[in-house]
Amino acid sequence: MKDNFKLKIEATDGNARTGVLKTWRGDIRTPAFMPVGTAATVKAMKPETVRETGADILLGNTYHLMLRPTAERIHNLGGLHKFMNWERPILTDSGGFQVMSLAQLRKITEEGVAFQSHIDGSKHMLSPERSMEIQRLLGSNIVMAFDECTPYPATKQETADSMRLSMRWARRSFDAFHNGSVHAAKNALFGIVQGGVFEDLRLESIDALRDMGFHGLAVGGLAVGEGQEVMFEVLDYTMPKMPTDVPRYLMGVGKPDDIVGAVERGIDMFDCVLPTRSGRTAQGFTRRGTVNLKNARHTDDPRPLDEECGCDACSKYSRAYLSHLIRSGEILGAMLLTEHNLTYFQDLMQGLRDAIAAGKLSDFVADFHARRALGDIEPL
């Protein structure tokens, strides 16, 4: 493990752990939630505001950035951090997940994935080598290996073939990343465990990756439709086999209760579009569950969205005002609700970290579920 990328575990509670992931661009408190900044912006947010919500690290999407404005352009402009005015760590995905979802527009071979842009139909290729090159051009601090996100549902044979292709691509990603560049010396590469919902395939995938020398391991191919129960089952047999000295990242997860359950099972890192996307579709996350601000009962309600939240949206505005902004299609509605949702997610992570540090995670989890069971506050 390189000195400038190190996970320092400070406390454990059951299978959960809390600590700090040290990088040359700053510390990441774990368990960590990474807001998604797809197109070099966390939608409807200034980066300073994202930081104020408690984010230590952002996620950027290779697929979107390679198409627009292009990785080469960002590189020429000084890299992604400078481009988007975020000096702290950035993790980039490999592009694999997004190109898989292009359906009719892509073709997978051993070499990689040929695909057409969803923006203008132009033709592109993503391979382990090209994905590593793009992530280097962007200046990513945590680079993800290029993999195939196995579709769900899939037969065991399909899942095995897909996982084994991803493992061969993981080796090529590793070799391409460690090409002697300055970038590789300062930054980290994560491998991705695949294998769908099959225990033996997950363990085979871990075996393939664990001695290769990745700086962290992700669990991929979950939150793709299998449901929370199945996802937790997979984590239950996967996590005990995962190396403990590196960060463990559950990709694309998730809802607050998904995160809580995954932290209990030993996950250190999360990313999800849920808080930001919901912020643009009138969904607010609160300690008492999810609130739809389009609902008529909010239009005269002078109370904040979440009385225990200290964000701008909750400390300065009423549900009535947020409701008005959303009904009027005002941009400020998306801005405030996104800020609130990101604050909610970061507060949840801070609560989990504090609970693990105090050895009281089970109390925290019980309280988390009890409050949600109450449902939203009564109408006035």
Q: Which residues are catalytic?
A: 93, 271
Binding residue for a copy of itself, selected from 104, 122, 157, 328, defined by CB under 8 A: 328
Using the contact rule CB under 8 A, the part of the chain among 208-216, 285-293, 323-331, 370-378 near a copy of itself is 323-331
- Decide if residue 68 touches a copy of itself (CB under 8 A): yes
- Decide if residue 76 touches a copy of itself (CB under 8 A): yes
Residue 310: other Cβ atoms inside 10 A = 10
Q: CA nearest 55: which of 25, 76, 83? A: 25
Spatial neighbors of 205 by CB under 8 A, at least 6 apart, are 163, 166, 167, 193, 194, 195
Which is nearer to a copy of itself, 73 or 168 (by Cβ)?
Answer: 73
Structure tokens that stand for 242 in this block: 């995962």
* 245 is annotated as contributing to ligand binding: no
Residues 333-352 that bind a copy of itself (CB under 8 A): 334-335
E-strand ranges in the chain read: 5-13, 16-23, 26-30, 32-35, 58-60, 90-92, 106-108, 113-116, 123-126, 142-144, 188-193, 216-219, 248-250, 269-272, 283-286, 289-292
- Decide if residue 321 touches a copy of itself (CB under 8 A): yes
CA angle 96, 153, 240 (to 5 degrees): 75
Spatial neighbors of 125 by CB under 8 A, at least 6 apart, are 111, 112, 113, 114, 115
- Decide if residue 312 touches a copy of itself (CB under 8 A): yes
Kindly state the helix (H) or strand (E) to which residue 7 belongs, with its residue range: strand 5-13
* 117 is annotated as contributing to ligand binding: no
Least separation, in Å, of the C-beta of 335 and a copy of itself?
A: 7
- Decide if residue 77 touches a copy of itself (CB under 8 A): yes
Q: Cα–Cα distance between 53 and 377 in angstroms, integer?
A: 24
- Decide if residue 160 touches a copy of itself (CB under 8 A): no
Least separation, in Å, of the C-beta of 325 and a copy of itself?
A: 6
- Decide if residue 200 touches a copy of itself (CB under 8 A): no
Contact yes or no for 217/209 (Cβ under 8 A):
yes
- Decide if residue 122 touches a copy of itself (CB under 8 A): no
Using the contact rule CB under 8 A, the part of the chain among 68-76, 201-209, 231-239, 345-353 near a copy of itself is 68-76
* 194 is annotated as contributing to ligand binding: yes
Least separation, in Å, of the C-beta of 228 and a copy of itself?
A: 31
Q: Cα–Cα distance between 116 and 121 in angstroms, integer?
A: 5
Least separation, in Å, of the C-beta of 332 and a copy of itself?
A: 5
Spatial neighbors of 131 by CB under 8 A, at least 6 apart, are 62, 94, 95, 96, 146, 173
CA 212 to chain centre: 23
Least separation, in Å, of the C-beta of 234 and a copy of itself?
A: 35
- Decide if residue 318 touches a copy of itself (CB under 8 A): yes
Which is nearer to a copy of itself, 331 or 366 (by Cβ)?
Answer: 331
Residues forming contacts to a copy of itself in the complex (CB under 8 A) are 39-41, 43-46, 68-69, 73, 76-78, 83-85, 299-300, 302, 312, 316-318, 320-321, 324-325, 327-328, 330-332, 334-335
User: Binding site membership for Zn(2+): which residues?
Assistant: 309, 311, 314, 340
